[in-house]
Amino acid sequence: MKQTRWGLIGAGWIATKTIAPAIHASAETIVQAVASRDLKRAQLLNPITIHETYDELIHNPLVDAVYISLPNHLHCEWTIKALKAGKHVLCEKPFALNLAEVELMVKTARECDLLLVEAVWSRWHPRMIRMIDYVKSGNIGELISIDSSFTFPASIEGNYRLSPEMGGGALFDIGVYPLHAIGAIVGDSARAVIQSCDVNFGETGIDLTTKWSISCNDLIIANGLASFEMPEDQTLIVRGEGQSVEMLSNQAFTSWHSPSTLRLGDHKEEFSAVDPYMLMIENFGRRINGEESWVLPLENSLWVQKVGDQLRTYSENLKGKL
């Protein structure tokens, strides 16, 4: 078995608490290198090599793939630089700040013939995969509605999530989880029309709460809620003409190292504790090593970014009227 040698750009919370531990725990992967402005945090990730600059890391010949966990406004720039340096890229969500950036990233990946994936780790969870497959197989009949939410009272003082220029706000940070679930269920060719979008803006101009309703193909109503100021809540319920399916236990998008439950009509299915970050990392590595494995399609990410842009335009117009 060929091990995938990872280079991590950024050594913040995601890299420290989830990505590096997942890579170290897998027999298929190695933390080959880390590049961070903070030497101490880079050392905590226990890499073979520490680079002082991101550019040094992407040109390290021993690095097979790069994980980018920088602030949102830097995703596009360093994804493109890494791809042009010959590295496969797994980039933290949200992919970028707008559809134009994502299209440029996708175009570059295809021109370089390299793998590019958005790291929406919840999509690798067996429970999420089961729900999506169950619905798309027609088990609940014609789709009627999707209700989703991801809210929690966030402590983001001094954080880039408070900066509009850096891609801050609840929609970008956590709203992508419900949007990706919606996109996976309705399909990346679905026509989405914004029916409503209510936003509570913070003092810095970012959205603290965004609540939306989208019509998909004029048939399905997809409702979503993302908030940095509401009590913790994660839900995902899909209703059809025949029955409904629902994520239980209030961890629709963040079930990690804990058992989880899925309601399918009148019965429940239980899922053992897993590490979806590890599943994501391993599947990415298998794909670049020529093995069969599932990774999040770029078409899904393009659909989500397109809808995200529509929601943001709607909310910006709303803000202008306040």
Instruction: Please determine, for residue 250, whether its predicted confidence score (pLDDT) is greater than 60.
Output: yes
The pLDDT of residue 159 is 87
For the chain, which residues make up each domain, given as ranges?
Answer: 4-119, 122-274+289-321
Residue 109 tokens read as 């990946």
List pLDDT tens digits, range 284-295.
999 999 999 999
Strands, sheet with 88-92, edge to edge from the N-terminal-most edge strand: 49-51, 29-35, 4-9, 65-68, 88-92, 116-119
Mean pLDDT of 302-322: 85
The pLDDT of residue 266 is 96
**Residue 121 corresponds to which amino acid?**
W
Residue 266 tokens read as 């009148």
Distance CA 182, CA 171 (A): 14
Active site residue 93: yes
SS3 of residue 223 by DSSP: strand
CB atoms under 10 Å from CB of 288, counted, come to 19
Residue 281 tokens read as 């990392």
The pLDDT of residue 320 is 64
Mean pLDDT of 124-152: 98
Instruction: Please determine, for residue 146, whether its predicted confidence score (pLDDT) is greater than 60.
Output: yes
The CATH number for 122-274+289-321, chosen from 3.90.1300.10, 3.40.50.970, 3.30.360.10, 3.40.50.720, is 3.30.360.10
Instruction: Give domain 4-119's CATH superfamily.
Output: NAD(P)-binding Rossmann-like Domain (3.40.50.720)
Instruction: Please determine, for residue 1, whether its predicted confidence score (pLDDT) is greater than 80.
Output: no
Catalytic residue, candidates 84, 93, 107, 268: 93
The pLDDT of residue 156 is 85
Query: What confidence tier does 315 reach under pLDDT thresholds 50, 70, 90?
Result: confident
The pLDDT of residue 314 is 86
Percentage of the chain lying above the pLDDT 90 cut: 94
